[in-house]
Amino acid sequence: MAAALYDPDDGYYSRSTRQVGRSGDFFTSVSVGPVFGTLLARRFLREWHESGQPARWRILECGAHDGTLANDVLTAIEKLDARAFSTLEYTISEPLPRLQSTQRETLRRFAGKVHFPNHPTELIDDPLPGIAFGNEVLDALPCHLIEWHDDRWFERQVSLGGSDRLVFNLVEIRNPDLKTALARLGGGFADGYRSEIRTGYREFLGPLAAALGSGLMIWLDYGFERQDYYHPGRHKGTLRTFSQHRAGDDPLARPGEVDLTAHVDFTAVAEAAQSLGWEPVALRSQGSWLTQNSRDWLMQMEGDPQPAVLRQFQTLTHPAHLGAAFQVLEIHRRNSTP
Ligand SMILES: C[S@@+](CC[C@H](N)C(=O)[O-])C[C@H]1O[C@@H](n2cnc3c(N)ncnc32)[C@H](O)[C@@H]1O
């Protein structure tokens, strides 16, 4: 999955920047329009105020893709709060050079304000309080495929079969991190039950936590808490391919040409954060989270409704659109937190 998505030459995300949007393979909340970035910006500003308006603060975006969301967030902050904007350092950690140059191009207007480390570990020597966040990033992190037989888990690994085709093999599990993660799932699954599991959340969050020291993390994605993720009825797992807005279920069919994604076990993300000394504080549907964070914004529109803007808000929040499919996990670490 790591190679199929991120190989520097042939990975799906390395090859072009046209995955998201109508002419791409899938929509995200960012494709709906700038309202999503505006509402995130308002939440970020509230965090800046609640943490005592630090003289320098950082927003660290992961998976910024072509820079559209960063542009929406920065435009909103600049408009809403000149002091917060002047003290802000917006940082995009982007490992893929092609995406980084597209982001630089999209964010030309904010040159000097936006920093582009190749990896968040580069920021550890200069931690700044603030916010780390990502929209639909965790689902794009590689996962292990697992299958239950004879009262134990096996891993479905990829190898090269005849005629140069990729095939799955069921193998014994030796990886100690995977064994530890699987021990948390319990047992008693039906024979042939398939799912997936990520062992890399702590590794992913650790450098971000260190780059902030304290503040807020916000992860928006599709997923469940653990007991729902590994529900007996979900016996085929959630790994999917996406191409031209159609989902597929053969992850080996066109590696590098299609998106690969699996839902997020938010319990595992919360546990990883806790192990780093951060505190998971809320897991809500995107609809409920955005609505709660938009009260002032909606009130301001009373008497002067803007239909195009409200349409975006409805798409983001209505349960039949994006409101119920996506969850938002907030994780905090206050300065005083031990
Ligand atoms: C589905 S896209 C989301 C794009 C964008 N956030 C949006 O909502 O439209 C997933 C993005 O996560 C990025 N990504 C995956 N692993 C990452 C990592 N370890 N660090 C930073 N970005 C990563 C990919 O390169 C890709 O651009």
Q: What's the whole-number mean pLDDT along residues 53-70?
A: 96
Q: What's the whole-number mean pLDDT along residues 120-136?
A: 96
Cα 136 to ligand 1 centroid, rounded to whole Å: 7
131: Cβ below 6 Å to ligand 1? no
Contact 88, 64 (CB under 8 A): no
Q: What's the whole-number mean pLDDT along residues 189-201?
A: 97
Which atom of ligand 1 is least distant from the CA of 259?
A: 1
Task: Compute the mean pLDDT over every residue in the chain, rounded to the nearest whole number.
Answer: 94
103: Cβ below 6 Å to ligand 1? no
Cα 213 to ligand 1 centroid, rounded to whole Å: 23
DSSP state of 24: S
For residue range 10-55, what is the model confidence (pLDDT) as tens digits? Answer: 999 988 777 788 778 888 999 999 999 999 999 999 999 999 999 9
User: Which of 72, 96, 116, 137 to mutate to test ligand 1, by most ligand atoms within 8 A of the CB atom?
Assistant: 137
For residue range 145-180, what is the model confidence (pLDDT) as tens digits? Answer: 999 999 999 999 999 988 889 999 999 999 999 999
62: Cβ below 6 Å to ligand 1? yes
Kindly compute the dihedral angle of the four CA atoms of residues 193, 204, 30, 291, in this order, to the nearest 10 degrees.
80
CA-based nearest residue to 30, from 88, 111, 103, 90: 103
Give, using CA atoms, the residue closest to atom 23 of ligand 1.
Answer: 63
Give pLDDT, residue 82.
98
Residue 128 has pLDDT above 60, yes or no: yes
Q: To the nearest whole percent, how much of the chain has pLDDT over 90?
A: 88
* Distance set, CA 246 to CA 1, 135, 141, 258 (Å): 19, 20, 20, 10
Q: What's the whole-number mean pLDDT along residues 275-291?
A: 97
User: Which of 59, 65, 143, 219 to mutate to test ligand 1, by most ligand atoms within 8 A of the CB atom?
Assistant: 65
- The domain segmentation of the chain, as residue ranges, is 16-139+200-224+264-333
Selected from 1.10.3720.10, 3.90.1150.10, 3.40.50.12710, 3.40.50.300, the CATH number assigned to the domain covering 16-139+200-224+264-333 reads 3.40.50.12710
Give pLDDT, residue 89.
98
* Distance set, CA 268 to CA 8, 81, 204, 261, 324 (Å): 28, 35, 12, 17, 20
Give pLDDT, residue 20.
80
Neighbouring C-alpha atoms within 13 Å toward the C-beta of 103 = 25
Question: 6 — phi, psi (to 5°)?
Answer: -125, 5
Contact 62, 134 (CB under 8 A): yes
Residue count of the chain = 338
Give pLDDT, residue 335.
74
Give, using CA atoms, the residue closest to atom 11 of ligand 1.
Answer: 63
> Distance between CA 279 and CA 58 in Å, rounded?
19
Q: How confident is the model at residue 336 (pLDDT cuts 50, 70, 90)?
A: low
95: Cβ below 6 Å to ligand 1? yes
Cα 323 to ligand 1 centroid, rounded to whole Å: 20
Residue 337 has pLDDT above 50, yes or no: no
Give pLDDT, residue 305.
83
Q: What's the whole-number mean pLDDT along residues 289-302?
A: 93
Torsion-angle region of 213 (φ positive above 0: left; ψ -120 to 50: alpha; else: beta): left
Rounded to two decimals, the pTM is 0.96
Q: What's the whole-number mean pLDDT along residues 186-209?
A: 97
Residue 338 has pLDDT above 80, yes or no: no
Alpha helices in 171-279 (DSSP H): 176-183, 201-212, 226-229, 266-275
Which atom of ligand 1 is least distant from the CA of 93?
A: 21
Q: How many CB atoms lie within 10 A of CB 157?
A: 13
